[in-house]
């Protein structure tokens, strides 16, 4: 009797956060199917699970309408080539689009129309903005893997099959992070007052946020001369970040790290952070934060008209209130960001209350994500 052919999974994960999620997913899938073949678009975390990357995930790390237009021809060209390859020479048993909905949903729709089973991992935030996207999800995905508990019920109202799998990061980040160990690894003292600065993992985020963030750090330094700063930097953006640090007049008190965002969040007392997945990571590390974002003015005007909730930061969205401050666009001045961070350092009781909220959130998101996701993928394969 012949052995069954190895499962063939195609994945497309855009940017750093998608690569992280997909890498965690592939780890669980490989436990079920050790001889798995996986390929498509991804990054280092996926490669560590044996993934064959045709293009790096950074190629899709573009946010905002104007920014996408600048890269439109290249991105569409990549999508066309991926679609052709998946339909002709490398047809998968299932395609899994990991986040990046603007890229993946159109690709999924084309593949599904030609008989390829499709799964979308991370429900697009139709509950926060762009509610009209639900129709595209229905056309594109055979099943959606949801990382927040309220999403399957919302999708069910529109006839879309979905499974709540929890958030993979909730299993990776410990319920009680070891601050002392992280500080020791980074060469920090136990009594140091530490601010983690995370201006984003996309070139456009660093372009619009880095200078403001480091000018805010300079204000903090003048107000609290003993402060230490940790700055995780993805390799491709490290030189730009180092230049911005120097331009702001920051010196030995600022440590630019090679990645290591989790170590920075574990070690810090508070973080100044770009809106995005990293804010949820900070919440799971139980760290107070100040969330900021800035982008191309036209992109912002378009996005704000589609916004359905008053919050943009995931900790606030999931809590249903402003548990941490947000400063967006022109409100994100160095002075305001500095003041917001220093306010946390002066409010230990407020920090304790926030940590209790974040611990409850962590328990809500903690599930056996890899097993639940693999179970759902297997059912799609059987269907």
* Token pair 């920075």: residue: 264
In this predicted structure, what is the pLDDT of residue 3? 64
Distance CA 360, CA 364 (A): 6
Per DSSP, the three-state class of 253 is: coil
The token duo for 336 is 């305001």
* Domains observed in the chain: 8-166+367-382 (3.40.50.2000), 179-365 (3.40.50.2000)
Answer left, alpha or beta for residue 276, where phi above 0 means left and psi between -120 and 50 means alpha: left
* Three-class DSSP category at 89: coil
Give just the sign of the alpha carbon dihedral 49, 25, 236, 262. Answer: negative
pLDDT at position 279: 95
Instruction: Give yes or no for residue 66 having a pLDDT over 50.
Output: no
How many other CB atoms are found less than 10 A from the CB of residue 294? 24
Most confident of 15-29, 52-66, 320-334: 320-334
Within the chain, how many helices (H) and strands (E) appear? Answer: 18, 13
Render the burial of 324-339: b for 16+ CB within 10 Å, e for the rest.
bbbbbeeebebebbbb
- Residue 107 pLDDT greater than 80, yes or no: yes
Question: pLDDT tens digit string along 22-46?
Answer: 998 999 899 999 999 999 999 999 9
Band the pLDDT of 293: cuts 50, 70, 90. confident
């Amino acid at each position: 009797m012949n052995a069954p052919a190895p499962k063939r999974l195609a994945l497309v994960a855009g940017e750093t956060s998608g690569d992280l999620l997909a890498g965690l997913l592939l780890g669980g899938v490989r436990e079920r199917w050790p001889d798995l073949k996986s390929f498509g678009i991804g990054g280092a975390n996926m490669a560590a699970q044996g993934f064959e990357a045709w293009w790096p995930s950074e190629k899709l790390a573009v946010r905002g309408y104007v920014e996408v237009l600048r890269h439109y021809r290249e991105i569409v060209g990549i999508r066309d080539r991926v679609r052709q390859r998946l339909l002709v020479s490398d047809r998968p048993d299932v395609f899994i689009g990991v986040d990046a909905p603007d890229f993946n949903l159109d690709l999924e729709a084309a593949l599904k129309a030609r008989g390829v089973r499709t799964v979308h991992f991370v429900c697009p935030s139709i509950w926060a903005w762009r509610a009209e996207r639900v129709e595209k999800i229905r056309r594109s995905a055979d099943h959606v893997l949801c990382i927040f508990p309220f999403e399957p019920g919302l999708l069910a109202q529109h006839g879309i099959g979905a499974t709540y799998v929890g958030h993979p990061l909730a299993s990776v980040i410990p319920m009680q992070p070891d601050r002392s160990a992280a500080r020791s690894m980074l060469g920090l003292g136990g009594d140091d007052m530490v601010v983690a600065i995370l201006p984003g993992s996309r070139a456009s985020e660093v372009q619009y946020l880095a200078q403001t963030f480091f000018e805010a750090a300079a204000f903090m330094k003048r107000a609290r001369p003993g402060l230490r700063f940790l700055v995780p930097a993805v390799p491709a953006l490290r030189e730009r970040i180092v230049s911005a640090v120097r331009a702001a007049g920051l010196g030995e008190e600022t440590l630019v790290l090679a990645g290591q965002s989790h170590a920075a969040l574990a070690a810090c007392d508070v973080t100044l952070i770009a809106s995005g997945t990293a804010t949820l990571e900070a919440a799971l590390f139980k760290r107070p934060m100040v969330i900021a974002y800035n982008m191309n003015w036209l992109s912002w005007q378009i996005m704000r008209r589609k916004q359905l909730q008053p919050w943009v930061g995931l900790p606030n969205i999931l809590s249903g209130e402003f548990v941490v401050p947000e400063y967006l666009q022109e409100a994100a001045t160095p002075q305001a960001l500095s003041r917001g961070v220093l306010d946390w350092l002066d409010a230990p009781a407020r920090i304790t209350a926030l940590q209790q909220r974040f611990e409850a959130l962590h328990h809500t998101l903690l599930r056996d994500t890899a097993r639940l996701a693999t179970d759902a993928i297997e059912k799609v394969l059987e269907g």
